[in-house]
Homo-oligomer: A and B are copies of this chain.
Amino acid sequence: MTSIAVSFNGEYALLDIGEGTQRQVMHAGLGFGRLRRIFITHLHGDHFFGLFPLLQTLSILRRTAPLEVYSPEGLSKILDALSEFSHFRVTFPLRVVEFSGPSVFRFPRYTVEFFPVDHLDTPTFGVRIRERDKPGRLDVKKAEELGIPPSLRSLLKKGIPIKLPDGRTVQPGEVVGPPTPGKVLVYSSDTRPTAGVVEKASGADLLIHDATFRDDLAERARATGHSTVGEACRVAIEAKVKMLALVHFSARYRDEDLDEIEREARSIFPNAVVARDFLTIDL
């Protein structure tokens, strides 16, 4: 059952939320208070059946902070049915945003883009998270030479031109270096290898890709709308990503198989890793 926590300073979001996610969140020590958003890639149970019990737990814990859930169309009807026909009650502000096609959502710290992937007849979306660019370094020496008072320097760092008391205008580029581009993470969700993932993951810091089967079961991967380990590696090569994390392994594979899968993957794409439970990747 899939769930990926994407942590920023002081908050985190979940990508998908399969059964048992709340338990793993507790084990991982993430806490529930810092969870702000949940992004669901498609409405297959192993990607969203952990939502209802989490909402119940947050209600029992008397959460008051809002929670946002982004999902392909259908989720709110299911939540409505749960409220109408069972004793399911959400007692904090829950905002469900549904979409039926490619969508971009901008938040203060990051932008999330949902793009269609190829998972049989189920509307399924990959996710691209782009962290906001970090402002460039301010050249303090130069700022002093130009006589810019310290109180105005943070405006320049934010990219805002300023006017000095003597009437001179200073452009940010005169004292601030180029911004550091935000990190980019792409999650393929469940999918066949697609050009869309290659495009969206181009140059990404991390690609998290479906690798349900080993290459000897390529036919089965095709039939079920998933990718093989080799296919995932080739997407990573084509997209020239910096790192690849393989996820969503078939239950047939044991720990020893995963060790072998990791070796196989690294022989194709050296910076590949098998995403076991609780794996942490620092970007």
Chain A residues engaging chain B, CB cutoff 8 angstroms? 1, 18-20, 22-23, 42-46, 48-50, 52-53, 56, 73-75, 77-78, 80-82, 84-88, 121-122
Contact = CB atoms under 8 A, between A and B. Distances in A.
B19 A88 contact: no
Contact of A77 (B22, B74, B85): B85
A87 B20 contact: no
Contact of A45 (B1, B18, B52, B85): B52
Contacts of A23: 19-20
Contacts of A44: 56, 86-88
B77 A81 contact: yes
B43 A53 contact: no
A11 B43 CA distance: 32
Contact of A53 (B19, B56, B73, B85): B19
Contacts of A86: 43-45, 48, 74-75, 78
Contacts of A45: 52-53, 56, 86, 88
Contacts of A22: 19
A59 B87 CA distance: 27
Contacts of A19: 19-20, 22-23, 50, 53
Q: Determine which residue in A19, A22, A43 has the highest number of CB atoms from chain B within 10 A of its CB, and name it.
A: A19
Contacts of A48: 86
A122 B43 contact: no
Contact of A56 (B46, B56, B73, B122): B46
Contacts of A75: 85-86
A44 B59 CA distance: 13
Contacts of A122: 87
A1 B85 CA distance: 20
Contacts of A77: 81, 84-85
Given A20-B20, A45-B88, 5 more contacts: A1-B53, A19-B19, A19-B23, A43-B87, A44-B56
A62 to B, nearest CB: 13
A210 to B, nearest CB: 16
Contacts of A20: 19-20, 23
B53 A52 contact: no
Given A20-B19, A49-B53, A74 B78 contact: no
Nearest to A20: B20
